[in-house]
Amino acid sequence: MRTLWQYPSIVVSFLFLCFGFGMNDNARAQKLPLGFVYVDEVVPDIRTDLRYRLADNFVGATVDGYLGARALLTQPAAQALAKVQAELREQGLGLLIFDAYRPQRAVNHFARWAKDLSDTKMKQRYYPEVEKTELFSQGYIAGRSGHSRGSTVDLTLVSLTAPYGELDMGTFFDFFGERSWLDTKSLTAAQIHNRALLQQTMKKHGFSPYSKEWWHFTLSTEPFPDTYFDFEIRDDLSVQ
């Protein structure tokens, strides 16, 4: 009696089918949702430092869903940023993105972290004036974030000429406290000027600011106002 192994073509076909289906599943999982783009493909000279990808953030660890270093946004949000960048370029300035699209699982990670009152290792740097129990009630952390809708971005201004680097905004990114508010009174004239330039340029190209975080903006005409996405950030997602 002949066994299946004596029909190599059948065995090879079977293995190919198994492997082939596996590849298809994998490929499906690696696609960007329709309407999303890598920001650096729309704004090639934009700078990006996704702060939730490594440990220099208020959690003190890599945040769930940040497996890549490239910022993702909806296409209209990225195109609006291209206009902001073009205007800034003429002044020797550019944008530095700290966060853009944020998976819902990352927001869930923030909520989990906020409930663990024993973990205060980043308090001194990121929230020295706010009790950890107050981060939710004061609006610094929420169960949902506009970032998961793909049209919200955290960013600052950088100088493209000497002296290079980030412009002084009075606080660094994700400082949870009154000095990060738009109406704070504790800024120098230079800090007021820098913040005003960022706010005015972003607003001019369709973004709305957030009163408690000078770095946070949402495209007013965002295409997915009610959808909270949860795909992982990776650097090699295929664009549809």
Tokens of 225: 């106002």
Residue 8's contacts (CB-CB under 8 Å, 6 or more residues apart) are none
| 213 is a catalytic site residue | yes
Number of residues that bind Zn ion (CB under 5 A): 2
CB of 63 to Zn ion, least distance (A): 13
Residue facing Zn ion at closest CB distance: 216
Return the number of the residue (26 or 101) whose C-beta is nearest Zn ion. 101
Q: Which of 87, 178, 213, 232 is catalytic?
A: 213
Considering only CA atoms, which of 46, 35, 94 is closest in space to residue 70?
46
Report how far residue 161's alpha carbon sits from residue 25's, in angstroms, rounded to the nearest whole number: 47
Report how far residue 72's alpha carbon sits from residue 150's, in angstroms, rounded to the nearest whole number: 7
Site string for Zn ion, 175-214 (x = CB under 5 A): ----------------------------------------
CB of 226 to Zn ion, least distance (A): 18
Return the number of the residue (27 or 101) whose C-beta is nearest Zn ion. 101
Query: Contact between 216 and Zn ion (CB under 5 A)?
Result: yes
Return the number of the residue (160 or 224) whose C-beta is nearest Zn ion. 224
Locate all alpha helices (DSSP H) within 90-207, ordered by sequence: 104-115, 123-126, 189-204
> Which H/E stretch holds residue 39?
helix 39-42
The CA distances from residue 53 to 96, 98, 163, in Å, are 15, 10, 27
CB of 58 to Zn ion, least distance (A): 12
The sign of the torsion formed by the CA atoms of 42, 206, 177, 224 equals negative
Return the number of the residue (154 or 222) whose C-beta is nearest Zn ion. 154
Task: Give the footprint of Zn ion on residues 5-34 (CB under 5 A).
Answer: none
Return the number of the residue (136 or 160) whose C-beta is nearest Zn ion. 136
CB of 154 to Zn ion, least distance (A): 4
CB of 40 to Zn ion, least distance (A): 19
Report how far residue 43's alpha carbon sits from residue 39's, in angstroms, rounded to the nearest whole number: 6
Active site residues: 213
Binding site for Zn ion (CB under 5 A): 154, 216
